[in-house]
Amino acid sequence: MSNRDRSRELYRRACEVMPAGVNSPVRAFRSVGGDPLFYERGVGCHIIDADGNRFIDYIGSWGPLILGHADPDVVEAVATTAASGLSFGAPCRQEVELAELVTSAVPHLEMVRFVSSGTEAVMSAVRLARGATGRDTVVKFSGCYHGHADHLLVSGGSGLATFGTPSSAGVPESFAAHTAVLPLDDEEAFLNLMEERGGEIAAVIIEGVPANSGLLVQRPEYMRLMREQCTSYGALLILDEVITGFRLGSNGAAGHYGIEPDLATYGKVIGGGMPVGAYGGRRELMEQLAPLGPVYQAGTLSGNPVAMAAGAATLRRLLADGGAAYAELDTLGQLLQSGFQEVLSRLGIEWSVVRAGSILWLALQEGDPPLRFENSRPESAETYAALHGALLDRGVSLAPSAYEVMFVSLAHNPGVIDETVEAFAGAVEAIV
C-alpha cells in the first residue's frame, strides 16, 4: 500500500475540529472503511493526494468536473474574473451570459434563477411549486436524493405510498408529513396515489436518472406517465437534473426521456466545479418569484461572477460543435463499461455495469440490475468496500460508497480507461 502518512495526519487534525473530519458525510469513508485521503491537486482525469499518490479519478467532485480537473479554459475564466472582483452582490454580466447559455440549450427553461448549491435549487423549486399551486404536498421517490432540505430528508416505509418519516434527526414529523414517498418504477403505486390525493399535490419530484442509490435508469414510458398524470391533476413535475443536467446531453434527462418538466433543478456541471445551483422553467412560473411575485428566495452569493464564469466556460465547451462532446463522453463511457464487462465475464462473475452516457454504476449483485432502491442488495456494500480499497491500492479512485456512481470526463481517454480496466481486473481477482 502506498504511503498515506500526510493524509493520516491531516485526518487526525481534521477530526479535532470538524465532525468526523469532513464537511460532507460520505467523504469520511465510513461505508468503505479506512481513513479518507486528503487531496492536494487535480490534473485532467487524475487526482493527487497529500502524500503525492496519483489516482485515476472517477468521482470528479461528485459530478461537476465533466471537463476534468483544472481545465485550462475554466481556470483561465475563473482567474480573469476573480482579478476583477470576487463578488458584488449585485447584477453582473457573467450571470446574464450563463443564463442565456442555459435557457438557449434547454427548451423548457424560459427563465432561470441561480443559487449556490443543488440543495438550494431543489428547496427553492419546491417552494415555488407550492406557491404557484397553493398546495402543500410533495411526492418523491424512495432512493432519490434531492439535497438536505428538511422536507426532502424523508424516507418511505414498506407500503406502496407512505407519508414520510424523517430520515434525519432534526426534521420535524410535521414537515415530513407533507412529503409522500413512492417506490420507483411502479406505475400502479403512482396512479393510486394520484387518484387518491392528486388534487393536493404541489409537485412530483424525481431525479433525472436516479443516481444516488446506484443508477436506477427508469423506463421512458413510466416517466411519460408521470408527466401526463401531473398535467391532469395540476401538479408540477420537477425534474432534478443536479446530476444529469448538461451531463447526459445538453437537455439532460428530459432530452433522454423526451419529456418536458414544469421546473428543473441544476447543480454540479452547471458551475464547472464552483458552488452553483439553478432552477428554472416557464416564464409564468418563474415570474412568481420575488420581487415580481409572492415566492421569496434570495442569496448573498447567488450569481457570483467567478462561479458564473466557471459554469459558462464549461457549458461553452460542452455545447460547441453541436454537442460533439457528448458523443465523446458516450464513447468513453461505453469503453469503460465494456472493459469492466469483459473482465467480469472472463472471471465468471455476474455483476452488472449499468450506464447512462458518462455515468456508470457497478451493481455488485446477480440478476437484472435493480430499477428500485428496494431491490438493491445491502450485502453488496461489503464487496464494494473491498473493491474500493483494492482499486485505490491500484491507483483508481471510486466513490467511497456502494450506492454512488462513477463519472467519466472529457479528460479521460482510451489509454487511462485501459489502465482502469486492468486495475479493475486485478482488484476483482484479489477480492473474490
Only segment of 88-96, 218-226, 240-248, 303-311 that touches ligand PMP (CB under 6 A): 240-248
CA distance 314 to 67: 7
Burial group, residue 346, by CB count within 10 angstroms (0-12, 13-18, 19+): exposed
- Whichever of 53 and 314 has its CB closer to ligand PMP, that residue is 314
Q: Does 118 bind ligand PMP (CB under 6 A)?
A: yes
Length of the chain: 432
Smallest distance, ligand PMP to C-beta of residue 36, A: 17
Choose between 246 and 424: whose C-beta lies nearer to ligand PMP.
246
Q: Does 240 bind ligand PMP (CB under 6 A)?
A: yes
Binding residues among 180-239 for ligand PMP as defined by CB under 6 A: 207, 212
Considering only CA atoms, which of 319, 292, 293, 286 is closest in space to residue 114? 286
Residues that contact ligand PMP, how many (by CB under 6 A): 15
CB 259 within 8 A of CB 209: no
- The question of whether 240 is a catalytic residue gets the answer yes
| Sheet-wide strand order for 236-240 | 111-115, 277-281, 263-266, 236-240, 201-207, 137-141, 179-182, 162-163
> Binding pattern to ligand PMP, positions 274-293, x when CB under 6 A?
---x----------------
Q: What angle do CA 28, 34, 36 make, to 5 degrees?
A: 40
Q: What are phi and psi of 375, to 5 degrees?
A: -95, 5
Told to judge if 185 belongs to the known catalytic residues of this protein, a careful annotator would answer no
Question: CB of 193 within 8 A of CB of 161?
Answer: yes
Q: Which stretch, 73-81, 111-119, 154-162, 341-349, contacts ligand PMP (CB under 6 A)?
A: 111-119
Strands 46-49 and 359-363: unpaired
C-alpha cell at 213: 442509490
The distance of closest approach from Cβ of residue 140 to ligand PMP in the complex, given in angstroms and rounded to an integer, is 11
Q: Which stretch binds ligand PMP (CB under 6 A): 113-121, 222-230, 290-298, 406-414?
A: 113-121
Q: Pick the closer one to ligand PMP by CB: 147 or 389.
A: 147
Closest CA relative to residue 374, chosen from 217, 143, 166: 143
Residue of the chain from 29, 145, 340, 351 that contacts ligand PMP (CB under 6 A): 145
Which of 240, 257, 266, 326 is the catalytic position? 240
Among 42, 68, 143, 267, binds ligand PMP (CB under 6 A): 267
179 binds ligand PMP (CB under 6 A): no
Q: Is 140 a catalytic residue?
A: no
- Our finding on whether 243 is near ligand PMP (CB under 6 A) is yes
Q: Mark residues 5-24: x for contact with ligand PMP by CB under 6 A, - for none.
A: --------------------
The distance of closest approach from Cβ of residue 84 to ligand PMP in the complex, given in angstroms and rounded to an integer, is 26
DSSP track, 291-337: TTSSB----TTTT-HHHHHHHHHHHHHHHGGGGHHHHHHHHHHHHHH
326 in contact with ligand PMP (CB under 6 A): no
Closest to ligand PMP by CB, 236 vs 423, is 236
DSSP string, 121-187: HHHHHHHHHHHHHT--EEEEETT----S-GGGSEE--SSSSEE-EESSTT--HHHHTTEEEE-SS-H
Distance of CA 104 to the CA centre of its chain: 22
List contacts with ligand PMP (CB under 6 A): 62, 117-119, 122, 145-147, 207, 212, 240, 242-243, 267, 277
Q: Which residues are catalytic, by number? A: 145, 240, 268
